[in-house]
Amino acid sequence: MELLAPAGNFEKLKYAIHYGADAVYASGKNFGLRAQSSNFTNEELIQATEFCHSQNKKIYITVNIFAHNEDLAELEFHIKFLSEIKVDAFIISDPGVFSLVREFASEIPIHISTQANVTSWKSAQFWAKLGAKRIILARELTIDEIKEIKKNLPDLELEMFVHGAMCMSYSGRCLLSSYLNARDANRGNCSQPCRWKYNLIEDTRPGNSFPIEEDEHDTYIMNSKDLNLIDRVAEIYKSGVDSIKIEGRMKSLYYVANVTRTYHNAILRAESQEELSSNVQDELNKISHRVYSEGFFDSFDSMSTQYHQSSAYIRDYQFLGEIISQNQGEITIAVRGKFSLGEEIDLIFPDIKDDLTIKIEKIFDEEEQEIPFSKPNRSVKLKLNNTVPDWGIVRKKIR
């Protein structure tokens, strides 16, 4: 079973690959559904594709906007370019974009985006007959429904989301952002107004606001929990799903790396029929996240996916930086968050067994001078008693 990780930029892509992803999904500067992510220039897409292929990994490109007339000419050039650099698949939701890919890049496989809202084997069969290789299933399916799709279409690849943010609409088919903020979610520019706290104001009493409540709950009436299916990976593996997908192209490098290695570990355990250890499961609580839910995995119950008290993230750990080099037990850290003498920090690596917790006794700046604390956007050095693996990341517990 493939593990598919998000790549919001080239740096995150490299960490995803080194932390266990079999494939990544990314976007050019246009036509993907994460316009606020940094995404990839054409030159970066060339480099990213070459890097993935050099590691024997795959790269899928999102072209999953719902295109307007004004998009079509540029889309043609973009599709031809992606065909020339030999990306491994297009992720598409719009039938018009589908037809452009069939016309100008017929040799590249097409994966039908979750935006297409495929919720039955008949819908999946429709796309398969048009030439789609894979269906990225709607998040709103139970595992029994997924098994039925696989039973009816055993040769069609199925992909499902297992972790990350969920939408209050059917897999993102939402007009709320366009209406309230003139930012089109279906063209990649959602402002997430479903996460806002709403109050009611009566027209003739503009100074008086009243909370909007749903039953005994508070006022975040459209706010979805985050998906977390780490405990169900073994069941997914047995179901015949071909690829599991992590949401998060706009999330941090630390999020991408840690979530990827956690699900990679879960897949290995599923393959060997071993139970997942609690310390591995706990890693998902050490990233920034909203309240977790297993979504619709067991049943279509929208209430279990909503959280009405707050849309704030839970942050128990802070991402401090990356280990960019080491020399005879001395590591150099590209600092992103402050840490000080006397604090404990975690060093995490692609293999969870290599993780270390150390107490900071000395910090050295770039001139080898001792300093009491680190500063973001600088490099510092720490001395260790032994060498550590490559691609290390630094974090600390904050509460």
Q: Which of 310, 66, 77 is nearest to 189 (CA)?
A: 66
Comparison of pLDDT for 240 and 300, the residue scoring more: 240
Cite the residue boundaries of each domain of the chain with CATH code 2.40.30.10: 317-397
Among 100-104, 296-300, 392-396, name the one with the lowest average pLDDT.
Answer: 296-300
Mean of pLDDT values over 152-181: 85
Helices (runs of H) and strands (runs of E) counted in the chain:
10, 20
* Helix (H) or strand (E) run with residue 371 in it: strand 370-371
Q: Residue 272 above 80 pLDDT?
A: yes
Taking the model in full, what pTM does it have?
Answer: 0.90
Q: Could you count the other beta carbons within 10 Å of the beta carbon of residue 279?
A: 10
User: 317-397 adopts what CATH topology?
Assistant: Elongation Factor Tu (Ef-tu); domain 3 (2.40.30)
What percent of the chain has pLDDT above 70?
A: 94
| Residue 121 pLDDT class (50, 70, 90 cuts) | very high
**pLDDT (0 to 100) of residue 161:** 97
Mean of pLDDT values over 85-103: 97
**pLDDT (0 to 100) of residue 32:** 66
Cite the residue boundaries of each domain of the chain with CATH code 3.20.20.70: 2-172+223-305
Q: Class of the 2-172+223-305 domain?
A: alpha beta
- How much of the chain is helix, strand and coil, in % rounded to 5? 35, 25, 45
With beta carbons less than 8 A apart as the criterion, state whether 26 and 59 touch: yes
Q: Residue 35 above 60 pLDDT?
A: no
**pLDDT (0 to 100) of residue 116:** 93
Q: Residue 233 above 60 pLDDT?
A: yes
3-state class (DSSP) for residue 358: strand
